[in-house]
Amino acid sequence: MIILGIDPGYATLGYGIIESIGNSQSLIKYGTIVTPKDARFPTRLKILADEINIIVDQYKPDAIAVEELFFQSNQKTAILVAEARGVILLVAENSAAQIFEYTPLQVKQVLTGYGHAEKIQIQQMVTVFLKIPTVPKPDDAADALAIALTHARSNSIFGNFKIK
């Protein structure tokens, strides 16, 4: 199964693509989509949609796992990221992939067994599960891989949170 994990953002969106066979996962690709700061917001959303479409067309994921939003403050940023997340979900819905959503708590629980794990612990588990020597950079890409891994490994803990 090919899984595309996405860490939503409108300035920087992280993505990670893994293959999961049984209890084993391997890295295919990871990266970020960065939109120009001086571009109009609708233009930034279009860039995200276009780039995610390219990734989906090229890798044809069976599942797309997207992190649910969690914000404690800054409502303006939360709204903009939510709008970007809407674009992500629209692109995913138009693909042949199934869509799944995971909260940050679920990602931490699945990857470390502890729902309040630190970011560095999550990043270390990404390297362990994917058998790679270093933590992927930037953090947005590492987060996206963590989301993809959460989907691959979640059946035994939560069952899948399918929305499509």
- Which residue among the candidates 51, 101, 140, 143 is catalytic per the annotation? 140
Residue 139 annotated in active site: no
**Residue 162, in any domain of the structure:** no
pLDDT at 162 > cutoff 90 = no
Question: What are the pLDDT digits (tens) for 11-70?
Answer: 999 999 999 998 899 999 999 999 999 999 999 999 999 999 999 999 999 999 999 987
- Which residue among the candidates 51, 67, 101, 143 is catalytic per the annotation? 67
Q: Which pTM was predicted?
A: 0.92
- Backbone φ and ψ of 64, nearest 5°: -120, 120
- Which residue among the candidates 7, 51, 101, 143 is catalytic per the annotation? 7
Do the strands 63-67 and 98-102 form a parallel or antiparallel pair, or are they unpaired?
parallel
Q: Which domain holds residue 79?
A: 2-153
pLDDT confidence of 152, banded at 50, 70, 90?
very high
The total number of structural domains in the chain stands at 1
Residue 140 annotated in active site: yes
CATH code of the domain covering residue 36: 3.30.420.10
